[in-house]
Structure 1
């Protein structure tokens, strides 16, 4: 699978989730594979494969061979989008756009997949697949590898041992757990992730982990652009990303404290 077909799969998967969620919200009859395929004008075999993957992600669920409905992961993602630090991340993303003219994103990890929580206003064109909920591989994206920052060789190899690397990503993508480990070792030495055409052709991504007060990583913050756009100001971009990540970590801590106080008061 090349990066363009990966993007197509994501776009089609998001269309399926949106249709299921919309029908559920409006109280309309829920649909199975054949009805979804007809409604979306997609091949039934493709809808079957995509809905299976969406169910594995928890974005959809299905009892036996009945109709699809939104899954628990869909609701937890929606809830995450309403937390204070994610709402406030918009300010940080737009500040990065203003400073460097690059696209910016905040993402979280779910196993060997990365889920986009928020993207900057310049990160998508009409009809683009770049929307909250977009899923990308952890091993060949800057944000994904930032989320692996604290994982040593055994953890990375265990996470990716059953992954099919063939045909996924751009020309700079790793093709084995060992290659991922080597990229991580290289990038830790310079203090940030630099993914060079790892997911998309001609796209460079610079990323850093976002940490809680206890040091644990809970998100990845990244900017994307052309080779010239990233490499012409690498140190300045990395410094700005690191500072923004620190502020997001502080905001996440405040949000958790506020939630805890409300829980005690309740």
Structure 2
């Protein structure tokens, strides 16, 4: 299992979906394989393979080898991102920015990948890759380890078995499942994740898990900044993140309760 190549494929697939959705949204001419490849500066054979997979997933659709348009599952995912706790996360992220001046993110996990759902307004510059859908490794990011909070050593080893750690992450990155498990043990003792230059040189990330009402992990909430910014207010930042995570988790619970009531009413 080559984690870096899978993450790259997911990122490129998301770029394709984003381009198709944007052109459809603004009423621009829809594109086929060759036009998508040219627009995204990708190999045509790779675009062909990825669009086929995206169609199989229902994120794109294509009628009789015509141009691509967004598929039915895309709209289901888009609707999910505008309900409940994900919608509420925007105000929580901006509140963290206002309090600490740090970049803030909310992320979820898919296997050994972390997927960014939402980032604060100060977390990207024009041309940045920091956008919803961005994929990072679970083992060398603060948000990733927050999402693994409940994983014991055997579960971490099983999840990361065969992962290629070489050349991934910053100077503080773990290089084996055992190192990831040891960092988790260290962080659980203090109640939050602190990743010191694990993904990028010079970047510190403080993160906590967001839990559902049943205690299971829903997402990760994190802030990023320089060493001095994080270390000067670690306890206050961790407390603010924990409180924000509790609010988001309770919002998810209320959304599920409302959905259940709608189902009974139907």
Same fold, TM exceeding 0.5?
yes
- Please identify, of 147-156 and 72-81, the stretch whose mean Cα deviation from structure 2 is larger: 72-81
Q: Answer yes or no: is the 8 Å Cα contact 2:173–2:197 preserved in 1.
A: yes
**How far is the alpha carbon of 1:70 from its aligned partner?**
4.9
Matches within 5 A, 1:1-266: 14-23=14-23, 26=27, 28-32=29-33, 34-44=34-44, 47=47, 51=50, 55=54, 70=70, 74-266=74-266
Q: Answer yes or no: is the 8 Å Cα contact 1:147–1:217 preserved in 2.
A: yes
Q: Answer yes or no: is the 8 Å Cα contact 2:60–2:74 preserved in 1.
A: no
Q: Answer yes or no: is the 8 Å Cα contact 1:106–1:116 preserved in 2.
A: yes
Aligned residues: 260
> Does the residue aligned with 2:86 lie in a helix, a strand or coil?
helix
Q: 1:97 to 1:23 in 2, by over 3 A?
A: closer
Q: Answer yes or no: is the 8 Å Cα contact 1:11–1:129 preserved in 2.
A: no
**How far is the alpha carbon of 1:122 from its aligned partner?**
0.9
CA distance in 2 between partners of 1:247 and 1:109 (Å)? 20
RMSD: 3.3
CA distance in 2 between partners of 1:235 and 1:89 (Å)? 21
- Please identify, of 73-82 and 139-148, the stretch whose mean Cα deviation from structure 2 is larger: 73-82
Q: 1:152 to 1:253 in 2, by over 3 A?
A: same
**What TM-score comes out, normalization by structure 2 length?**
0.84
CA distance in 2 between partners of 1:110 and 1:226 (Å)? 27
> Does the residue aligned with 1:251 lie in a helix, a strand or coil?
helix
Q: 1:163 to 1:11 in 2, by over 3 A?
A: closer
CA distance in 1 between partners of 2:142 and 2:71 (Å)? 28
Q: Answer yes or no: is the 8 Å Cα contact 2:140–2:198 preserved in 1.
A: yes
**How far is the alpha carbon of 1:8 from its aligned partner?**
9.3
CA distance in 2 between partners of 1:74 and 1:201 (Å)? 35
CA distance in 2 between partners of 1:69 and 1:59 (Å)? 11
Question: What 5-or-longer segments of structure 1 have no aligned partner?
Answer: none
CA distance in 1 between partners of 2:177 and 2:20 (Å)? 35
Q: Answer yes or no: is the 8 Å Cα contact 1:77–1:133 preserved in 2.
A: no
Q: Answer yes or no: is the 8 Å Cα contact 1:97–1:103 preserved in 2.
A: yes
Q: Answer yes or no: is the 8 Å Cα contact 1:58–1:72 preserved in 2.
A: no
Question: What 5-or-longer segments of structure 2 have no aligned partner?
Answer: none
